[in-house]
């Protein structure tokens, strides 16, 4: 029988290997899933994971997809580092998109240079304000942030749907639930001719650099790390837990908000009822898979974008529902959490003959 044996120290080695093992296991499960659906597993995996990025256009599309995911995931990683369970990136993204759209619609017939920057800023404000409500409720009222942020996701979604059916609906749009098309001056400029890759990529690279420096080089980033690792140590050192938690929530909201603004003023170009296929939820997986490190998150975000594209490709080429993306997302997180057991425990095969041997360290590893 398999038995878990606590390691004396958490294994750094396995904390890097675990995400890789999780991805490999997901691929194996994917192959089994495809063959049970009557597809050739290798060919299906090729269609899912390789064919979407087999040309430059595909790679540019991959980058377009990973932009909102990465912005949300960088923000979420800050929250999770501080042990703040923010599940609300999706709602913050939607709110950012909604508020940005209200601004963008002021510039429908304008060529103002301010149109795009103001739209982006309103996206940040919308997302940060939405997260700010959650921060206020957590810190002043001591409510559970998981449930609060989830509820706010649903509220944001319904607000967006209401706005697009009501006040923001295009008056000349034949009653379709869509806003007017944004003006050229509002849209994010495309970086490379012939692709949809837009300025949002620059925002992602900026965010990557800033978050990396913030976490590893600044005192505030250090405080957040201490808070996440050991609450009582943070308290002893006099770090304000409430201020730090509010900070990470609002920063995450701002990042998710600009992701929403980027989506409406980038690939979509107007406000529609569905502006995100669950990017905010996918970003949770990305943050964990990337070990909360900016670089790891970037790699995981690219993989997640690929899973989204693979789902679309499976729908086109294999006539499978694109919801297969969600299955892969869930699997990857399950496997990651399972593999993470190897960071703190060794797997031992218990046999009758070795029963007398006592493990050296048998204390229970500290839970969270």
Q: Which residues of the chain form contacts with another protein (CB under 8 A)?
A: 4, 85, 87, 137, 141-144, 146-148, 150-152, 154-155, 158-159, 161-162, 165-166, 281, 284-285, 288, 320-321, 323-331, 333-334, 337-338, 340-341, 344-345, 362-365, 367-368
Nearer to another protein, 46 or 334 (CB): 334
What's the closest the beta carbon of residue 213 comes to another protein, in angstroms? 27
| Phi, psi (degrees; rounded to nearest 5) at 133 | -60, -45
State how far the Cα of 326 lies from the Cα of 350, in Å rounded to an integer: 36
Dig out the tokens for 357 from the structure. Answer: 């041997």
Dig out the tokens for 3 from the structure. Answer: 């038995």
Nearer to another protein, 141 or 352 (CB): 141
State how far the Cα of 144 lies from the Cα of 322, in Å rounded to an integer: 33
What's the closest the beta carbon of residue 27 comes to another protein, in angstroms? 16
What's the closest the beta carbon of residue 98 comes to another protein, in angstroms? 13
Number of residues that make up the chain: 368
Nearer to another protein, 168 or 201 (CB): 168
What's the closest the beta carbon of residue 156 comes to another protein, in angstroms? 10
Nearer to another protein, 12 or 319 (CB): 319
State how far the Cα of 224 lies from the Cα of 239, in Å rounded to an integer: 9
Nearer to another protein, 117 or 167 (CB): 167
Nearer to another protein, 35 or 143 (CB): 143
What's the closest the beta carbon of residue 129 comes to another protein, in angstroms? 16
Residues forming beta bridges with residue 3, ordered by sequence position: 348
State how far the Cα of 285 lies from the Cα of 304, in Å rounded to an integer: 9
The CA–CA distances, whole Å, from 221 to 78, 79, 81, 249 equal: 9, 11, 10, 14
Question: CB neighbours of 261 closer than 8 A, spacing ≥ 6?
Answer: 96, 97, 99, 100, 119, 120, 122, 123, 124, 126
What's the closest the beta carbon of residue 188 comes to another protein, in angstroms? 28
């Amino acid at each position: 029988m398999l038995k878990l044996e606590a390691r004396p120290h958490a294994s750094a080695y396995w904390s890097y290997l675990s995400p890789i093992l999780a991805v490999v296991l997901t691929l194996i499960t994917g192959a089994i899933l495809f063959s049970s659906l009557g597809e050739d597993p290798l060919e299906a995996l090729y269609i899912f994971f390789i064919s979407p990025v087999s040309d430059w256009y595909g790679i540019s599309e991959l980058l377009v997809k990973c932009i909102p995911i990465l912005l949300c995931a960088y923000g979420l990683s800050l929250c999770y580092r501080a042990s703040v369970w923010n599940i609300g990136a999706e709602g913050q993204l939607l709110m950012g998109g909604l508020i940005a759209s209200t601004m963008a619609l002021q510039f429908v017939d304008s060529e103002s240079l301010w149109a795009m920057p103001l739209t982006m800023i309103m996206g940040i404000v919308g997302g940060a304000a939405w997260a700010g409500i959650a921060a206020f409720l957590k810190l002043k009222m001591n409510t559970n942030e998981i449930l609060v942020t989830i509820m706010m996701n649903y509220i944001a979604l319904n607000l967006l749907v209401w706005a697009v059916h009501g006040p923001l609906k295009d008056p000349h749009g034949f009653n379709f639930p869509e806003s007017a098309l944004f003006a050229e001056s509002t849209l994010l400029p495309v970086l490379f001719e012939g692709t949809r890759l837009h300025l949002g990529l620059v925002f992602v690279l900026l965010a990557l650099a800033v978050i990396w420096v913030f976490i590893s080089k600044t005192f505030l980033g250090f405080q957040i790390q201490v808070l996440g690792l050991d609450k009582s140590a943070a308290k002893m050192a006099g770090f304000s837990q409430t201020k730090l938690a509010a900070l990470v929530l609002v920063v995450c909201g701002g990042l998710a908000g600009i992701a929403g603004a980027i989506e409406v003023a980038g690939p979509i170009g107007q406000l529609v009822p569905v502006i995100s296929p669950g990017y905010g939820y996918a970003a949770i997986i990305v943050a964990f898979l990337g070990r909360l490190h900016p670089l790891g998150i970037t790699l995981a975000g690219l993989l997640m974008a690929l899973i989204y594209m693979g789902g679309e490709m499976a729908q086109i080429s294999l006539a499978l529902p694109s919801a297969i993306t969600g299955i892969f997302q869930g699997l990857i997180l399950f496997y990651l959490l399972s593999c993470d057991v190897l960071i703190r425990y060794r797997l031992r095969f218990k046999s009758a003959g070795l029963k007398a041997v006592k493990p050296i360290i048998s204390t229970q590893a500290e839970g969270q």
